[in-house]
Amino acid sequence: MAMVAAGGAGRRRRRRGKRGAINEINMTPFIDVMLVLLIIFMVAAPMMTAGVPLDLPETKAAPLNSDAAPVTLSIKATGQVFLGEAELTDEAIVGKLAEVAKAGFDERIFVRGDKKVDYGRVAQIMSIVTTAGYKRVALVTAVEQN
């Protein structure tokens, strides 16, 4: 049995190069994920408008400028009334409006009616809202395409 010389021929140390361990965060995957999320939200944002899909009548009226999220009643072609995405009966409209109207009776209430809904039904819902004391009731239409 031969003895190994004291120089450590049996043990070899790994030499570290001039550079040490990398202790920085790699930002490239983080930026990639953030850009993908940005694209997803840009595509999904237009789909998150008022919940009930309606075929609105078209007019040449200019859009209203509104900073706050409006209180919107939607009337489907079948005559069903929705506040946001929740279906309401005629008797429950006033109670639900009182819950969501932060400015009280000065809150602007938007009424969206499908173009195929009976005009009498739209007038009936507007009558319920105005009789309850809300003075700022507006009809919503789509911008006419030329």
Strand 71-75 relative to strand 108-113, pairing: parallel
Indicate the helix (H) or strand (E) that contains 113.
Answer: strand 108-113
In a domain, 55, yes or no: yes
Total of domains in the chain: 1
**Is the separation of the CB atoms in 78 and 54 below 8 Å?**
no
**CATH number of the domain to which 135 belongs:** 3.30.420.270
As a whole number of angstroms, the distance between CA 132 and CA 104 comes to 11
- Residue 112, in any domain of the structure: yes
Report the pLDDT value the prediction gives residue 38, as an integer from 0 to 100.
93
Match 């009548």 to its residue by tokens.
Answer: 57
**pLDDT single digits (tens) 122-140:** 889 888 888 888 888 888 8
pTM of the entire predicted model: 0.55
